[in-house]
Each structure stands twice: as structure tokens, then as C-alpha cells.
């Protein structure tokens, strides 16, 4: 069942990515560029995480060095999505609260800088955790064959505490950013009128959806610590909780991006229909 869900949303993501690249307007607009980053990140995470789940459930072992590579990719993608969602929320804040500065702050040049910042910020936790693993592990471990899981990277209690503190720091910063943007946009929404009010409230609803998606992504950061506590109590409960966490906090938030932008954004939806229907939608919408 999970394989089917992953396959469906992977294909949807590919269609959405193709839609972004089908029109130069999307490739010159910050929010669409950030959107495609989440799609690429989510697609990679869905495929590799599902592959690791299959290998782990079938007791298949791989070399630890290869598992480290998989871990780095999955961890990077797991952070890229929430960090990018935070950046997208800030973009909505600038568009609604600082409309005159939006073209300047969200220019293509600044978008490139933003992408670099997203990748850097997302990479930091991965390499810090990897460094603690390397520091606490002998070199002979890398050639051993084991079942690949995130637990194998925590061999000493302090590593777990350090990872928890790092994850909570990211959770705190991103939560503050989302709350700040929401409050500021809410103030503008109440003061707006006419067409501007409609646009502002739509932006506010987008921020709310971002907040919900981001919350699911951030709860994922807590899952390893919840699971490590449950496994000491009951093994069967641990297996069920881990399966629930995988579906709810890894798969679900990666399936919300098409809903937030693929279906709610009228311009993007028209382009999506045009591409999906092989140009037959052009006569109706005038999209070119």
C-alpha cells in the first residue's frame, strides 16, 4: 500500500516539476523556484526512504559506508523541505507586508542566494551528527554489513542528547519565523480592503497550510526520541508507532505540496492542466 502511495505522489511530483520547467515565468519567480526545490527534495526522500524501509523490513544488510551515504541524502532532504517552507513563508510575508520591496528582495539573484542558504542550513545538522558518529566509531565499522537504520548512528547516549538539542533548536527557529509571519500578515489582512483584502487572506491561508505542513515535518524530528523510549517498553508497540510515524510525519507532509501550490495557485493550475492535457486546455484558458 505504501509503495503505491509513494509511486503515485512521485509521479505527481514529476508532473509538477515538469510544469515549473515548462514556462520561463515560473523559473524567474522565487516562490515557484522554492516550490520546485521542495518537490525535488520530497521526491528523493520518498524514493530512498521507501527503499530503506523495504530493505530494513526484509532484514537485508548493506555496507555501513553505503548506509552513511543514504543517511546523508535522506537527512539533507528531511531538512531541506521544512527550511524551504520557512523561506516560502517569508516570501509570502514580504509579498503581503512589504509589497513595494518584493521585486527587489525576491529577485532572481536573491533567489539564488536563498537556495545556497537553504542547502547550507539544511546540511549543518547532517554533518554534525555524522561527525559525532565518526568520532565515536572505529574505522573497521565502515566495512561491516548491517541493517541500515538511523539508530545505528547513535552508539553513545550523549549523541542522542546532542541530536535532540540540535533538532529542537531548528524547531524553535522555524516555529518563531512562521508565527512572526502569520501575525504580521494577519494584521495586514485585517487592515486591507477590496481586492487587496482577498489577496491578503489568500496569502494568510497559504501561510497556515505552510505552518501545518511544517509542523508535520518538524514532529518528524521528535520521532526518533519517541521511538527510542517506546522500544524499551514494548517491541510490538514500537513497530506500530514507527510505522505510524513514517506514514504521518514523513509521507504525509511530502504529499501536501501539490495541494498547497499545485491546486490552489490558479496560474500554476492552468499550466498544469495545459501540460497534463497535452495542450488541449490552451483554447479554454489562453495559456501559452
Q: Does residue 24 form part of some domain?
A: yes
Q: Which residues of the chain form beta strands (DSSP E)?
A: 62-63, 145-146
Task: Specify the DSSP class assigned to residue 279.
Answer: T
Kindly report the CATH number assigned to the domain that includes residue 268: 1.20.1070.10
Phi and psi for 62 in degrees, rounded to 5? -135, 165
Q: Does residue 282 form part of some domain?
A: no
Number of domains the chain contains? 1
Grid cell, residue 164, equals: 535532540
Give residues with Cβ within 8 angstroms of 242, minimum separation 6. Answer: 223, 227
Query: Rounded CA gap, 93 and 96, in Å?
Result: 5
Query: 62-63 and 145-146: which strand pairing?
Result: antiparallel
Q: What is the span of the domain harbouring residue 181?
A: 1-277
3-state helix, strand, coil in the chain (%, to 5): 85, 0, 15
Element (H, E) at 96: helix 64-97
Digit-by-digit pLDDT tens for the chain (288 residues) are: 677 878 888 888 888 888 888 888 888 899 899 989 999 998 898 888 888 888 877 888 888 888 888 888 988 998 998 899 899 889 989 988 898 999 999 999 999 999 999 999 999 988 888 888 887 777 778 888 888 877 777 667 677 777 778 888 888 888 898 889 888 888 887 777 666 667 777 777 777 877 787 788 777 777 777 777 787 788 788 778 888 888 888 777 777 766 666 667 778 878 877 877 775 555 444 443
Nearest residue to 78 (alpha-carbon basis) of 31, 114, 52, 44: 44
Q: Does residue 272 form part of some domain?
A: yes
Q: Does residue 288 form part of some domain?
A: no
Neighbours of 45 (CB within 10 A): 21
Grid cell, residue 165, equals: 538539542
CB 220 within 8 A of CB 249: yes
Q: Does residue 105 form part of some domain?
A: yes
Q: Does residue 287 form part of some domain?
A: no
Amino acid at each position: 500500500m505504501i509503495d503505491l502511495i509513494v509511486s503515485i505522489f512521485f509521479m505527481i511530483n514529476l508532473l509538477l516539476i515538469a510544469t515549473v520547467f515548462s514556462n520561463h515565468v515560473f523559473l524567474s519567480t522565487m516562490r515557484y523556484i522554492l516550490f520546485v526545490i521542495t518537490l525535488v527534495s520530497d521526491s528523493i526522500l520518498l524514493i530512498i526512504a521507501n527503499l530503506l524501509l523495504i530493505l530494513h523490513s526484509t532484514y537485508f544488510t548493506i555496507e555501513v559506508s553505503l548506509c552513511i551515504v543514504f543517511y546523508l541524502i535522506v537527512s539533507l532532504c528531511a531538512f531541506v523541505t521544512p527550511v524551504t517552507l520557512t523561506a516560502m513563508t517569508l516570501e509570502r510575508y514580504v509579498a503581503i507586508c512589504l509589497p513595494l520591496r518584493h521585486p527587489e528582495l525576491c529577485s532572481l539573484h536573491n533567489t539564488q542566494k536563498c537556495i545556497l542558504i537553504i542547502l547550507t542550513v539544511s546540511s549543518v545538522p547532517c554533518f554534525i551528527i555524522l561527525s559525532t558518529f565518526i568520532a565515536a566509531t572505529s574505522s573497521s565499522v565502515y566495512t561491516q554489513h548491517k541493517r541500515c537504520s538511523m539508530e545505528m548512528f547513535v552508539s553513545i547516549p550523549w549523541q542522542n542528547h546532542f541530536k535532540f538539542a540540535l533538532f529542537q533548536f531548528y524547531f524553535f527557529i522555524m516555529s518563531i519565523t512562521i508565527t512572526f509571519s502569520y501575525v504580521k500578515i494577519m494584521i495586514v489582512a485585517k487592515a486591507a480592503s477590496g481586492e487587496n483584502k482577498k489577496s491578503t487572506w489568500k496569502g494568510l491561508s497559504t501561510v497556515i497550510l505552510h505552518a501545518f505542513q511544517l509542523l508535520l515535518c518538524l514532529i518528524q524530528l521528535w520521532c526518533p526520541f519517541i521511538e527510542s523510549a517506546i522500544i524499551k517498553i514494548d517491541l510490538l508497540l514500537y513497530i506500530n508507532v514507527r510505522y505510524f510515524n513514517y506514514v504521518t510525519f514523513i509521507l504525509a507532509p511530502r504529499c501536501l505540496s501539490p495541494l498547497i501550490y499545485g491546486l490552489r495557485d490558479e496560474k500554476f493550475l492552468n499550466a498544469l492542466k495545459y501540460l497534463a492535457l497535452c495542450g488541449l486546455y490552451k483554447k479554454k484558458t489562453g495559456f501559452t
